Amino acid sequence: MTDQGAGGGTGLRLARQARGFSQQQLAGMAGVSRQAVSAVESGLSDPSLRVALALARALGMTVEELFGPGGAASPVAARAVAPLGGEHARVALAPMGEEFVALPLSGDSASRAGFQPAGALACGTGPGPGGARTRPVRPIVPPRPTLVLAGCDPAMPLLETPLGLLDPPVALSWWSCPSQEALRLAADGLVHAAGAHLRGHSGEYNTGPAADLLPQGAEVVGFCSWREGLVLRPDVAGGVTDVGDVARRGLRLVNREPGSEARCVLDRELAGLGIDAGQLPGYGTRATGHLQVAAAITAGLADAGVASEPAALAYGLAFIPLAAERFDLVIPADVAGSREVQALIKVLSSRWLLDQLASLPGYDAATCGEHVATLPPRAAPGQPG
């Protein structure tokens, strides 16, 4: 064959990755060499008719579908982790069991110092047949096996590199949100794992709140630990030892969202000192993560806030510890055996990830990958416990 059309080697690679095959696995199924698959995917050679037929047959496609000019994909129904916005809104698209999950690419989620690639575009503005959360979206690249995580730890994107090095690779989509929202998304089957650092009623971290919010049961696996505390501009930090000093000096706060442990820490400190939160300038603000709190302070939009020590150190800000916290990954029991979760468990103990976490000032990765607890499912009302 001398003309692969618009699909070409890229179409072969996307089709292979969407089905979760490595080059070696596809080569074995098609009865060709791995080098032949690699050469076609990289554009170094065109496949012969025999090779093209073998590859298409192995992938369950026609030669025209695999190597011919690509057309627009048909829309699919996807459950959204948050409102998607209007028509043509860009989203990250990930298979979740027999369904698809869409993560809006807007605001902070659209950028890591640059736009992120979209997997689909929203179609229309109304809900799909699956309810208010469901919207039709049109894939612009074939969906591929993707680990979907939710949580507020800015170190979670570090998982992308070791997941991409697996054979076959697994992609990563991260939804940054407070711990309580992450657990609710996990309970609703919208993410494979929820990152949380919530203190329970007895003072333990994560197991109690996770058991309350995930009736289907879950596995809790360690990720890292850090200190949570006051983050301040260095020029106003002198003489500040606690939240009371922030209130007395009238320093302007940048706050986290309801449901975040950082906000809970602030509220506990204020309650212990008998300070009315409504009297603090900036209490009603809502930053979407630890790094966003630090960025707002650095930009001069606020004087102080509560965030993690790694965020403060990353921006060269002053830090006053208020709590030592453990950040865990909560995996719903019904997805614990999935390929994506098994890939996550594998890379949590990788040397690359551990070295990266250790390189971040303020992080303690001693518990990364350790099994913390198994949370049994709760019996439905009226059912025996």
Distance CA 154, CA 295 (A): 13
Same domain, 18 and 132: no
Q: Cα dihedral sign for 4, 7, 10, 16?
A: negative
- To 10 degrees, the CA torsion angle through 154, 155, 157, 159? -160
Q: Which of 52, 67, 82 is the last residue of a domain?
A: 67
Is there a single domain that holds both residue 91 and residue 41?
no
Note whether 20 and 88 are same-domain residues. no
Same domain, 204 and 333: yes
Asked if residue 219 and residue 177 are part of one domain, the reply reads yes
Shared domain for 181 and 123, answered yes or no, is: no
Domain with residue 166: its CATH number is 3.40.190.290
Predicted local confidence at residue 256, as pLDDT = 94
Residues 174 and 97 in one domain: no
pLDDT in tens, the chain (385 residues): 433 333 567 788 888 877 878 888 899 888 999 999 998 888 788 888 888 888 988 888 888 878 876 666 678 889 998 888 888 888 888 888 878 899 888 766 655 656 788 889 998 776 666 566 788 998 887 778 899 999 999 999 999 999 998 888 899 999 999 999 999 999 999 999 999 999 988 888 899 999 999 999 999 999 999 999 999 999 999 999 999 999 999 999 999 999 899 999 999 999 999 999 988 999 999 998 999 999 999 999 999 999 999 999 999 999 999 999 999 999 999 999 999 999 999 999 999 999 999 989 999 999 999 999 999 998 665 555 4
- Residue 323 CA from chain centroid, whole number: 24
Residue whose entry in the numeric block shows the structure tokens 């989203």: 91
pLDDT number for residue 228: 95
Residue 382 lies in a domain: no
Q: Which of 143, 172, 196 is the last residue of a domain?
A: 143
Residues 291, 353 within the same domain: yes
182 and 214 co-located in one domain: yes
Q: Are residues 60 and 110 in the same domain?
A: no
274 C-beta neighbours (distance < 10 Å), count = 7
What is the rounded distance in angstroms from the CA atom of residue 126 to the CA atom of residue 296? 35
| 49 lies in some domain | yes
Last residue of some domain: 86, 115, 143? 143
Q: Quote the pTM value.
A: 0.75
Q: Residue 32: which domain range? A: 8-67
Q: Are residues 228 and 338 in the same domain?
A: yes
Total domains in the fold of the chain: 3
